[in-house]
Structure 1
Amino acid sequence: MTTAAHLAACPSAVERKTLMFSPNQRRVALAGLLVCAGAAVAAFQLQKPIAVRAAKLTETVPVRVFGLGTVEARVVSKVGFEVGAAIVELNADHGDLVKKGQVLARLNATQQRAKVARANAALQSAEVAVKKAEANLFKARAIMAQRLEVNRRKQELVSRQVNSTQTGEEAQRDVDVAVADVRVAESDIEVSKALLADAQSQLAYETAVLEQHTLLAPFDALVVDRQKELGSVIKAGDPIYTLLEQGSVWALAYIDESRAGAIRVGQPVEVRLRSLPGQVFQAKVVRIGIESDRVSEERRVYVKCERCPDSFHLGEQAEVLITVDTLKAARFLPEALVSGFDGSKGTIWTVEAGRLQRRKVQLGYRTEDARIELREALPPGVVAVTYAAGDLKEGSRAVVREDAK
């Protein structure tokens, strides 16, 4: 029904004046008049086309994925002693740069040095014992050689019946005893050598324990923290320093799984630190976590800066923008105007023959500013809506205007 028809259906002002109404009739008539006016306004609005903006082709569009993370380090170690004792020397503190092999701290090693001295004395004793056993073996062999020669002569005399048989038997017994003495001396040497090896091992062990009383830097590092002070009595394994390997600083970013599929190692990254919001640090993706967070459904992505800030703070919040692709030309739609997006397809608003319609199309990348790439080419005369000046209703009239507000 047109506006004129709606107005025609209502009584005119002259006719109302010529009629005499009771109060109740007047109220009913006024309500009817209001309903007629509302219907007329609604009909006028339905006939008025909605101004919309159409998706425009944009050239050289970087597709970036946003993530929040923190400044971390690939290698952070809490180092300490493998033995317990009192700390007598500390050579580094918070913020110091240390080189690999540099002495960081020492423990009281008086008792351990005494153990090393005792082990060294035991080693010397074992070496002397080996020499003594070797001398005994030499003596036993000389005696055996002598008795073998005596036995040979006596056996010749016995064979010629110059000596008695008993004399020959006694000479042979002396040879057997000499042979046994040689075997004993050889065994003594083996025992002495075993004791020597044990003494060497004991000395090596005590020396190694003594070396464990000195703490060395395992790599070129920055001292993040020192947990103990001079005079503290520590247990084995107590951390003394927290060390960060130089050159291992990176940012750990958490990326929504729905946006992380296009991330690859080597892609360029922009990093902004919370303490330096006005500066942008260029970086690259160096590692993508194999395991995602099962609760937040986020993927861990590690990025390393190419030009790092002069100072950094572990745990500081970092904003990360990863450029996953650069499109030569593309059209983008606001996510708010896309429904049913499953990662590849979704339903959008279009203007077709001057009317608003819903159309399922092929979609692509999602950007950090909540836009989705329109990947499918639309038929001639069909445009995708990116903004509407009013409520979108399927079938409503629409007109495309660049200045729609």
Structure 2
Amino acid sequence: MKGKLPFSRRITLGALVLVLVGALAWVALRTGPLAATRITVMRVQEGRLAPAIFGIGTVEARRSWMVGPTAAGRVLAVRVDVGDTVKAGQLLADMDPVDLDQRLAALDASLARAGSTQAAAQAQLKDAAARRELAAINARRNQELAAQNFISAAALESRMQEKASADAALQAAQANLAGAGQDVARQKAERAGLQQQRGNVRLLAPADGVVTSRDAEAGTTVVAGQPVLRLIDPATLWVKLRVDQGRSAGLAPGLTARIVLRSHPGVPLPGQVARVELLADSVTEERIAQVAFAQAPSARAMGVSVGELAEVTLQLPETASSLLVPSASIQHRQGETGVWRIAHGQPVFAPVRLGVRSLDGQVQVLDGLKAGDEVVVYSQKALTPGARVQVVDTLIQDGPKGAVP
């Protein structure tokens, strides 16, 4: 028939078609949507885990003070600057005393006058006592004379009335002396209170420390309680550590710590958890602990500053021998936590019960696996039960969740 291809050519074209179809099938099965999912696997092994807790904290001072006046006033002078080392009782700043000195002088004059009044009352008491003694003697003498009928009853009554008047005068003198003493005590108390106010305008260092902030200058008006200077005790530096609540199991006082300051990344410092706060941060979902340095770093020698960030690693007790898997192999599927286990060349999802984790990516498996099981660590794409898989040493292409480059 005209136009019919020779038999040999038809054989050649058929062979080319078969080759093309085979090539397409090979590409589809190797790199296309029908290709096997490439995975990396690892055998479950037994071992001991050294769990640890990691967190970020800031350097703070356990003991700090805000030095300021107890009453509103104007700053007269500030005698120290930031970074100065001060001793307990050292004068740091002066507040304007306004009229306190004049009021003290007035109280001194009032106290002197009260002393003079007290001295006069004492003299009056002595005079009243002498008059009463004389009146008592005259009254006894007239009683004896009246008993012998040498004087009249009227004369005796006059002497008795003189004695009663002398008794009343003595009581009045005693009362005046007591009042003068109370007035002196009141004046002394007022002066002591005013002297205390005068002393409060002198801002003294409550303890040995270092000045970290100068919040007011001469001429500034401050209110009661407003700090003029801030001090810290550099020997009490510690780290305020924040730890994710979900990874804080085992956090307790006494744990050994490894502190790395942001300014000295290559110089780890030993420490220990001094306190775990009872109140956690509900906003950031973190627990707070205070980590003390085993040996307080010198702020001047190391350049440590309050507020500096620090990385803290807390070492927990080593666990007993148990099954371990990489944390990258842990997956969540349909509300269950487990791993993809390779059984007869196919992935099977195996729910597991996990224990503690280590910072190097190992997880303790309490139930659900046995030693020697092969589990999927990384996969090119999300797995499904019975999916075709290909075990490789490493994954070189990015994939969906669970894959790594």
TM-score w.r.t. length of structure 1: 0.80
| Partner amino acid, structure 2, of 1:311 | G
Q: Which residue of 2 aligns with 1:314?
A: 306
Match of 2:327 among 316, 330, 334: 334
Greater shift, 39-48 or 241-250, is seen at 39-48
CA drift of 1:193 comes to 1.6
The alignment status of 1:367 with 2:358, answered yes or no, reads yes
| Partner amino acid, structure 2, of 1:337 | I
Deviations 1:72-120 (A, max 9, x none): 2223332112245554443210111111111112234473223223222
**In the alignment, is the contact (CA less than 8 A) between 2:43 and 2:373 conserved in 1?**
no
Residues 140 and 320 (structure 1), Cα distance of their counterparts in 2 relative to 1, 3 Å cut: same
**In the alignment, is the contact (CA less than 8 A) between 2:73 and 2:95 conserved in 1?**
yes
Q: Which residue of 2 aligns with 1:324?
A: 316
CA drift of 1:131 comes to 2.9
| Partner amino acid, structure 1, of 2:342 | V
**In the alignment, is the contact (CA less than 8 A) between 1:141 and 1:182 conserved in 2?**
yes
Partner Cα separation in structure 1 for residue 202 and residue 251 of structure 2: 46
Match of 1:303 among 281, 291, 294: 291
Greater shift, 352-361 or 314-323, is seen at 352-361
Partner Cα separation in structure 2 for residue 153 and residue 340 of structure 1: 122
Deviations 1:280-335 (A, max 9, x none): 22222112121111111111122122242622223222222222233465513224
Match of 1:80 among 45, 49, 68: 68
CA drift of 1:167 comes to 0.6
**In the alignment, is the contact (CA less than 8 A) between 1:150 and 1:171 conserved in 2?**
yes
The alignment status of 1:392 with 2:380, answered yes or no, reads no
Q: Secondary structure, in 3 states, of the residue corresponding to 1:115?
A: helix
CA drift of 1:354 comes to 4.5
CA drift of 1:231 comes to 4.3
Q: Which residue of 2 aligns with 1:291?
A: 279
Q: Please list, as runs of the form range in 1=range in 2, the aligned pairs for 1:172-321 lying within 5 A after superposition.
A: 172-307=160-295, 308=297, 310-321=302-313
Residues 161 and 214 (structure 1), Cα distance of their counterparts in 2 relative to 1, 3 Å cut: same
Flag structure 2 segments of 5+ consecutive residues without an equivalent: 1-8, 396-405
Q: Which residue of 2 aligns with 1:68?
A: 56
Greater shift, 322-331 or 138-147, is seen at 322-331
Q: Which residue of 2 aligns with 1:163?
A: 151
Greater shift, 271-280 or 151-160, is seen at 271-280
Q: Which residue of 2 aligns with 1:348?
A: 339
Partner Cα separation in structure 2 for residue 384 and residue 338 of structure 1: 11
Q: Secondary structure, in 3 states, of the residue corresponding to 2:50?
A: strand
Partner Cα separation in structure 1 for residue 374 and residue 24 of structure 2: 37
Partner Cα separation in structure 2 for residue 110 and residue 81 of structure 1: 14
**In the alignment, is the contact (CA less than 8 A) between 1:49 and 1:396 conserved in 2?**
no
Q: Secondary structure, in 3 states, of the residue corresponding to 1:178?
A: helix
Partner Cα separation in structure 1 for residue 28 and residue 101 of structure 2: 106
**In the alignment, is the contact (CA less than 8 A) between 1:51 and 1:400 conserved in 2?**
yes
Residues 233 and 399 (structure 1), Cα distance of their counterparts in 2 relative to 1, 3 Å cut: closer
**In the alignment, is the contact (CA less than 8 A) between 2:36 and 2:390 conserved in 1?**
no
Q: Which residue of 2 aligns with 1:24?
A: none
Match of 1:54 among 43, 47, 50: 43
**In the alignment, is the contact (CA less than 8 A) between 2:56 and 2:241 conserved in 1?**
yes
Deviations 1:131-188 (A, max 9, x none): 3222222221221121111111112222322211111111111111111111111211
Residues 121 and 336 (structure 1), Cα distance of their counterparts in 2 relative to 1, 3 Å cut: farther
Q: Secondary structure, in 3 states, of the residue corresponding to 1:321?
A: strand
Q: Please list, as runs of the form range in 1=range in 2, the aligned pairs for 1:18-57 lying within 5 A after superposition.
A: 37=25, 41=29, 52-57=41-46
Count of residues paired in the alignment:
378
Residues 319 and 188 (structure 1), Cα distance of their counterparts in 2 relative to 1, 3 Å cut: same
Partner Cα separation in structure 2 for residue 79 and residue 99 of structure 1: 14
Partner Cα separation in structure 2 for residue 340 and residue 400 of structure 1: 22
C-alpha RMSD of the superposition: 3.6
**In the alignment, is the contact (CA less than 8 A) between 2:271 and 2:291 conserved in 1?**
yes
Q: Secondary structure, in 3 states, of the residue corresponding to 1:393?
A: coil
Q: Secondary structure, in 3 states, of the residue corresponding to 1:211?
A: helix
Partner Cα separation in structure 2 for residue 36 and residue 353 of structure 1: 28
Partner Cα separation in structure 2 for residue 304 and residue 341 of structure 1: 44
Q: Which residue of 1 aligns with 2:348?
A: 357
CA drift of 1:52 comes to 2.0
**In the alignment, is the contact (CA less than 8 A) between 1:333 and 1:385 conserved in 2?**
no
Q: Which residue of 2 aligns with 1:6?
A: none
Flag structure 1 segments of 5+ consecutive residues without an equivalent: 1-12, 19-28
Residues 341 and 335 (structure 1), Cα distance of their counterparts in 2 relative to 1, 3 Å cut: farther
Partner Cα separation in structure 1 for residue 334 and residue 11 of structure 2: 58
